[in-house]
Structure formats: C-alpha cells, structure tokens
C-alpha cells in the first residue's frame, strides 16, 4: 500500500503548484482533505462492522486510490498568464515585473546571469501601425510596410548572461531574432525617437527559470474556486485521500484481528509501510528529475504510473488475505458511545488531536523551513535543495520510522501506552525547538531520526490502544474514529494554525511555538494521567498485561479492575 502511495503522495502539493494553483489554494485543498477523511473513516468503518464486510471495503478503497491517483495525472492546468513588455529603442529587450511572482528570488536571477548561451522564447506581440514601420525599416522586412497584421510572431534568442534586474523589473536582452519565414535579423531600432516599439507580448520559453520569472496565474485566487480545473483536481484529490484513509483504517482493523491477543506486534507489520514509502518516494523523485531533464516543467507521469502499478499489485495481494470478522456488535453506536463518555478515552482523543496538530505542521511546512534556511547558505543552495529534501524523507522513514515500528511492541510493553503518549509529546517538543534554532538545514538530518518516536511509536501506540479498547465487533469503527480525530481534527487544525503563524512570524518561530506548546501539553498529559491513576486505578500501567480486544472490553467496564494495556 505504501509502496503504491509513496511515489505520488509526497509530491502532490508541488504538482498542484505546477498545475497553476497558488500556495493559498493548495493550503485550502489540504485543509479540506483531512476533513473528508475524518468523515469517511468512521462512516465506512461502521458499515464494514455492521455488515461484516471489512475486506470488501478494504479492497474497494485500494481500487479507489489507484483510480484517483492515475486520474490526477490528467488534471487540466489552470490557465497561466505568460506576458512580458517588449520594447525596442536601440536594443531590443523584454522585461517582466517580479511583483506578480513574489516567490522569485535573487538567486534565480543570479543563476541566469552566470549561465552561457541563449534561451529561445516564442513571442506574439500586439502591434500598432507605427510599430510596423519600425520593423519594416530596421529589420529589413519591406513586405510589412503595407501589410500590418494585428500581431508580430517571432522567436527571440535571449542572451541569458545579460539578464539584469532594476528594482522589481527583470530585463532580458535579445541576441538575434528568427522570423516566421526563417530569416534571422539583428533586433535593432536605431532611427531616433520615431523608431521605438513598446508593447505587450505573450511568451513561452524553452527554459524553466525564464518561464518561472514571466509566469503568473491568469486568474485571482478567488476566481480559481469558480473554475472547473479546480473542482476536477479537488474531487480527484478527495477521492484519493478517502481511498487511502479507508484502506489504512480498515487495514489496521484487519491487522489487529489477525494478530489476535498480540497487538504489540502491530509495529512489525506497519514497519513495512515505512520501508515501501521511504524507498519508492526517493526512487520516484529521481525518476521525475531524470525524465524532466531539459524540460521547462516536471514530468510526473512515471510516478503516477508506478503508483498505479503497485496499488494494483497491492489489491491482488490483499485479496489473498483470509480475514474473518469473528465478532459483531449488536449496537455499534451504543458501544462506541460508552467509550466516548469514559474520561480516559477523552484524554486519549485529545492526545491524538495534539499530536495531529504537530504532525500537520511537519507534513506541510518542514520543507518550507528547509528551503527558507537554505537561502541563507548562498545561491548555490538551489542546486542541492531537492536532494536534501529527499534525504530527509529517506531518513525519516527508513532510519526513523522503520526501526521504531519494529521496536514499538517492546517499548509499549516496557513503558506502557500512557507513558508512551507523554514521551511522544516530549520528543515532538524537543524536535521542533531544535528545528527553530539550527541555522543550517543540513543539520536537520540527525534530527530526522526522532521521527521514529514522533510518528513510528506514536502511530503504533494510537492504533494498538484503539484496537484494545474497542468493543468486540467495532474494531473498524474505532480505528476510523481515532484516525478521523487525529487527521480530520488534529492535522487539519494544525495546518491552518501553522499557515497563519508561518505567514506572520516565519518558519523558526512557528516551529518554536509548536514545540513549546507540545512540551506544555506533555506536562498536562502526564499530570492528568497521574491523577487518573491516583483516583481511579488500583494498579499501575507497568503491572498490566496485554489483552485481546474482547478482554479489554470486560476490564474497561469492570469497576473492580483497572484497564491495563501492557506488561
């Protein structure tokens, strides 16, 4: 499953930007997606439990994910405005204002100035009658003395090393031009004030950097929401997100059913997800870069087809799983409702929300922070920034998550779920504060090892705790509920909060504030759990033993016993 989603999922936000969606619109999309998952998980989980069709829902969700991911590859682009101001007064140049593209940095312009050779740009310029006189006399084109089309179409061969910037305007100087009839001309206008052209042109160049400078959205963000391109992309993204959400939550329920009274071994299964994601997200990135060489845009087709192929393989393998729902709740809503009034479960769900908020920050804004800090390392940082991001992803999954998924059972058995919850918040706080004080993003690499605790141990703890406390026959419902709270409430709320803080205070302060918040919540969580043990439990978490879901239900509502989870 994760080998199938890994080649596409990490790059969907940048793919959306390539389609023409601004960062604001992408942020709105990634706020909607967790909410869609929040609604889908418990609903489909309840249906799967009520009609005992977990496997059917599991397989259908995988096919939905595969179909949605493949369809996203064909999403239409938002129309882009690639227009420049063309002037010919002596030398011929075109210029563009970088105010319309605030993400353009001086390093991009410096990179162009340090390059040799030319860039070919196709221009289609609106022409007035007096401009044709200039063209006819200076470019030796007598056929245009009487024939005056509405536009002048030609190819400008831009001397890229002579790119200059004055305030917020970037100027490109022509070396020569090629006309539609194939003739080349020196683009000069040298007959005084009467020989001057100043007009607007549509432009398309064969260079990614130049296109980045001259491109901007042709519609405002407010107008984008009325365009069919936005809705096609959003619907496909929602379908893919819901498919993944259902497959993961019901897959977890099936996994715990197969594990029986050994839920501590869940981490052994889940670590293979980290293995598939870590390896194939990096392979996909290399493939995209290799197939995009010399192109002005990134070619993601290979990533989408690779994802589709592995998701179909995943469907084939999953269809072989022999899963039988042994129990069925006679009243799912009543059983789940009994859990939701238990104070310990309420604390658990609040913990899921808190960790989800912190996860939303790192999922959506860690690469923002890396790129912002990389700019301080010099202009050459843009040559290695994607490599660094790929290494970060690999360390997070292969060196961080994978071993901790493997060790999670032993860790949970030794320290208990409750202490593990506090530990996760503590490490999140430390990790985010380290991000906020380290100036060189290369030093983030050892910090990524902590992802094993902040996500690997967290996810195993969350999923196994939910499985243990779930009444018999409600396992899929409970996994869906917990996943919905973590993702739909926590991640979504964290993404919104982080976006506001990042725009207001910048990356370091955003991570610092989240880190401090995680430490405060850690202390509160530890204090509340201490009071729960003092007032409501007779034993301790360390004296407990792992129970099957059925045994856990009995102990949960037995006033004479403590709900215990680990040895």
Q: Which residues pair with 388 in a beta bridge?
A: none
**Coil, strand or helix at 463:** helix
**Residues in a beta bridge with 121:** 156, 205
CA 177, chain centre distance (Å): 42
- Token pair of 90 as six digits: 């002596």
pLDDT band at residue 552 using 50, 70 and 90 as cut-offs: very low
Of 509 and 295, the structure prediction assigns the larger pLDDT to: 509
Q: Which of 496, 408, 425 is nearest to 459 (CA)?
A: 408
Contact (Cβ atoms closer than 8 angstroms) between residue 18 and residue 299: no
Instruction: Map tokens 């706080």 to a residue.
Output: 429
Supply 89's token pair: 């007064």
Distance between CA atoms of 556 and 544, rounded to whole angstroms?
13
Helix, strand, coil share (%) of the chain residues, nearest 5: 65, 10, 20
Q: What is the Cα–Cα distance from 126 to 88, expressed in whole angstroms?
A: 14
CA distances from 421 to 302, 354, 463 (A): 40, 11, 12
Tell me the C-alpha distance between 51 and 63, whole Å. Answer: 20
**Which H or E element spans position 205?**
strand 197-205
On the question of pLDDT at 111 being above 80, the answer is no
Phi, psi dihedral angles at 197 (to 5 degrees): -120, 135
Identify the CATH class of 2-77+223-314+335-556: mainly alpha
Question: Per-residue pLDDT for 80 more than 80?
Answer: no
The pLDDT of residue 384: 66
pLDDT at 536: 63
Given a contact cutoff of 8 angstroms between Cβ atoms, the answer to whether 131 and 199 are in contact is yes
Residue 206 gets which letter from DSSP?
S
* Domain extent listing, the chain: 2-77+223-314+335-556, 80-218
Question: Residue 382 belongs to what H/E stretch?
Answer: none
Residue-by-residue DSSP string for 421-459: HHHHHHHHHHHHHHHHH---GGGHHHHGGGHIIIIIIHH
Task: Report pLDDT for 389.
Answer: 76
Give the N- to C-terminal CA distance of the chain in Å, as an integer: 32
Per-residue confidence band for 557, with pLDDT thresholds at 50, 70 and 90: very low
Structure confidence at residue 311 (pLDDT):
96
pLDDT above 60 (res 214): yes
Tokens representing 472? 């018999």
Answer yes or no: are the C-beta atoms of 393 and 2 closer than 8 Å.
Answer: no
CB 378 within 8 A of CB 512: no
Separation of alpha carbons 131 and 357, rounded Å:
59
- Residue 276, both tokens: 């598939």
| Sign of the C-alpha dihedral computed for residues 355, 359, 360 and 366 taken in this order | positive
- Alpha-carbon distance of 536 to 521, in angstroms, equals 22
Of the chain, the percentage scoring pLDDT greater than 90 comes to 23
What's the pLDDT at 352? 92
Q: Taking residues 232-257, report their average pLDDT.
A: 89
Question: Considering just the CA atoms, what is the radius of gyration of the chain in Å?
Answer: 29
The per-residue pLDDT for 517 is 95
pLDDT tens per residue, range 535-547: 865 433 333 333 3
Summarize the confidence of residues 373-381 as an average pLDDT.
Answer: 69
What is the rounded CA–CA span in Å between residue 533 and residue 172?
Answer: 71
User: 200 near 84, Cβ under 8 Å?
Assistant: yes
> Among residues 299, 150, 92, 122, which one has the least CA distance to residue 214?
122
Length of the chain: 567
Q: What is the mean pLDDT of residues 462-475?
A: 76
Rounded Cα–Cα distance for residues 466 and 462 (Å): 6
**Please, which residues have CB within 8 angstroms of residue 480's CB and are 6 or more apart in sequence?**
40, 41, 42, 43, 44, 45, 46, 246, 249, 250
Integer Cα distance of 523 and 168 in angstroms: 49
In this prediction, residues 98-125 reach a mean pLDDT of 74
State the CB neighbour count (10 A cutoff) for residue 481. 24
**Residue 326 neighbours by CB under 8 Å, 6+ apart:** 257
């Amino acid at each position: 499953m994760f080998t199938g989603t890994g080649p596409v999922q990490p790059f969907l936000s940048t793919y959306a930007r390539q389609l023409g969606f601004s960062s604001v619109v992408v942020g709105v999309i990634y706020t909607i997606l967790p909410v869609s998952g929040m609604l889908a998980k418990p609903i489909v989980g309840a249906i799967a439990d009520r009609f005992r069709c977990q496997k059917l829902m599991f397989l259908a969700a995988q096919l939905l994910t595969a179909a949605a991911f493949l369809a996203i590859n064909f999403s239409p682009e938002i129309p882009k405005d690639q227009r420049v101001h063309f002037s010919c007064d002596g030398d011929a140049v075109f210029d563009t204002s970088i105010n319309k593209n605030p993400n353009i940095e001086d390093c991009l312009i410096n990179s162009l100035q340090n390059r040799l050779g030319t860039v070919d740009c196709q221009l289609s310029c609106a022409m007035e009658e007096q401009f044709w006189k200039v063209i006819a006399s200076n470019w030796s084109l007598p056929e245009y003395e009487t024939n005056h089309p509405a536009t002048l179409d030609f190819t400008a061969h831009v001397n890229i090393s002579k790119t200059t910037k004055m305030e917020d305007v970037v100027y490109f100087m022509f070396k020569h031009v090629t006309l539609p009839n194939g003739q080349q001309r020196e683009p000069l206008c040298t007959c005084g004030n009467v020989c001057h052209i100043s007009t607007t042109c549509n432009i398309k160049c064969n260079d990614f950097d130049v296109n980045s400078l001259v491109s901007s959205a042709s519609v405002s963000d407010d107008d984008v929401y009325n365009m069919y391109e936005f809705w096609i992309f959003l619907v496909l993204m929602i379908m893919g997100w819901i498919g993944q959400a259902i497959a993961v939550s019901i897959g977890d329920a099936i996994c715990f059913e197969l594990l029986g009274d050994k839920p501590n071994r869940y981490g052994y299964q889940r670590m293979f997800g980290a293995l598939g994601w870590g390896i194939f997200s990096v392979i996909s990135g290399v493939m995209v870069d290799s197939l995009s060489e010399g192109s002005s845009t990134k070619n993601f087709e290979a990533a989408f087809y690779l994802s589709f192929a592995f998701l179909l393989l995943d469907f084939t393998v999953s269809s072989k799983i022999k899963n039988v729902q042994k129990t069925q709740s006679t009243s799912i809503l009543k059983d789940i409702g009994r859990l939701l009034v238990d104070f310990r479960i309420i604390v658990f769900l609040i913990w899921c929300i808190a960790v989800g908020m912190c996860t939303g920050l790192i999922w959506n804004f860690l690469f923002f922070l890396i790129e912002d800090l990389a700019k301080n390392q010099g202009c050459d940082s843009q040559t290695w920034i994607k490599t660094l991001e790929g290494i970060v992803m690999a360390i997070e999954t292969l060196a961080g998550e994978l071993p901790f998924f493997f060790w999670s059972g032993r860790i949970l058995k030794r320290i208990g779920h409750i202490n593990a919850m506090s530990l996760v918040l503590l490490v999140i706080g430390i990790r985010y504060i380290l991000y906020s004080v380290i100036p060189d993003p290369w030093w983030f690499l050892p910090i990524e090892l902590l992802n094993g605790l902040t996500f690997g141990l967290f996810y195993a703890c969350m999923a196994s705790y939910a499985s243990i406390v779930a009444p018999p026959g409600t396992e899929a419902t409970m996994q869906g509920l917990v996943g919905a709270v973590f993702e739909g409430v926590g991640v979504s709320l964290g993404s919104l909060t982080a976006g506001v803080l990042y725009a207001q205070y910048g990356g370091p302060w955003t991570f610092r504030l989240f880190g401090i918040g995680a430490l405060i919540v850690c202390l509160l969580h530890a204090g509340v759990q201490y009071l729960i043990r003092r007032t409501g439990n007779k034993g301790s978490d360390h004296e407990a033993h792992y129970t099957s879901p059925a045994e856990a239900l009995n102990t949960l509502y037995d006033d004479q016993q403590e709900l215990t989870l680990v040895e």
